[in-house]
Amino acid sequence: MKKLLLLLLPASLILSCVDNNQNLNDLEFNNLKGKIKSFETKRYLAKTSFGELEREHLIEKIINEFNTEGNFTEQSKYSIKTNNLKDEVLLDSKSIYKYNDDGKFSERNIYNVNGEITEKVILKYEKDGNRTEESTFDAEGKLERKIKHQYNEDGIKTESSFYYAEGNLEQLLKFDDNGNLMELNNYDSNGQLNYRVKSQYDNNENITEQSWYYADGELTKDIKFQYDKHRNATEISYYKSDGELDIKYNYQYEYDGENNWILKTSYANDKVQDITEREIEYYE
């Protein structure tokens, strides 16, 4: 069963979580179908004018490229400058992914617009193919973060531990027997618990509820998810600790022939927020 990650984690955690299911490539993990070569994402601020949706201006552009195995090879991110109602799109950073002789993701380098490395991630594996360690380095080669993974005797990941450069624990992630991320614990630099996040899943292994707690166990917020038949989120609702609805996000999609969405419209409390277009290129 494909697992769709919707836990609202910091971007730095996503890299680690991708390895939950060793049999899934990057396309499958991100709920993408078919032999995709690349896709370009453009996100626009949107508004309603006289009952019609309108794009205002571009706020995000990303290009992702994949190899024939369905794994990332390159990601280009662009910055947007809007002058006199005209969008100027400039390359901001580029990530290059490398793989070892066994086809395992082994290194990611992030480059700035001048071609200089700003971040390097190096991954290590056991002989059985399980990823055991990930180290992130800055432009000077100084260690910024280290992640270590533990597995059960069946090769299923049970824990991922994130460490500050100094060696103190930053995050502890716990997984169930199906590889679903069930609990996240966040710590400060002194090792004190900041907050805890617990998640629930449906029979299709979609995350359905996420509860956030203070260090003392008091509930701070609850997030609930709904999906369409293609396993894309159609509603994400945030509730306060007393159960009162705080904000509700809704998403509408248009799909191509491979059942990948190519247009997503996002709403917050029934007010349109943005429109995202995806132009997908497939291998022949």
**Per-residue pLDDT tens over the stretch 89-100:** 999 999 999 999
- In CATH, the number for domain 11-282 is 2.40.160
The pLDDT mean for the chain works out to 90
70-80: buried (b, 16+ CB within 10 Å) or exposed (e) per residue? bbbbebbebeb
Look at residue 24 in the predicted model and tell me its pLDDT: 83
Mean pLDDT of 77-84: 88
Mean pLDDT of 245-258: 98
Beta bridge partners of 267: 250, 272
Q: Where are the domains of the chain?
A: 11-282
User: What's the pLDDT tens digit per position in 114-139?
Assistant: 999 999 999 999 988 899 999 999 99
Look at residue 22 in the predicted model and tell me its pLDDT: 52
Mean pLDDT of 38-48: 96
Look at residue 205 in the predicted model and tell me its pLDDT: 87
Neighbours of 35 (CB within 10 A): 12
User: What's the pLDDT tens digit per position in 230-242?
Assistant: 999 999 999 999 9
pLDDT band at 86, cuts 50/70/90? Answer: confident
- Long-range pairs of 70-75 with CB within 8 A, sequence gap ≥ 24: 70/25, 70/26, 70/27, 70/28, 70/35, 70/36, 71/25, 71/26, 71/27, 71/97, 71/99, 71/105, 72/26, 72/97, 72/105, 73/97
Beta bridge partners of 280: 39
Residue in this structure with the two tokens 């705080």, named with its chain if needed: 246
For residue 72, pLDDT over 80 is answered with yes
For residue 224, pLDDT over 70 is answered with yes
Look at residue 241 in the predicted model and tell me its pLDDT: 96
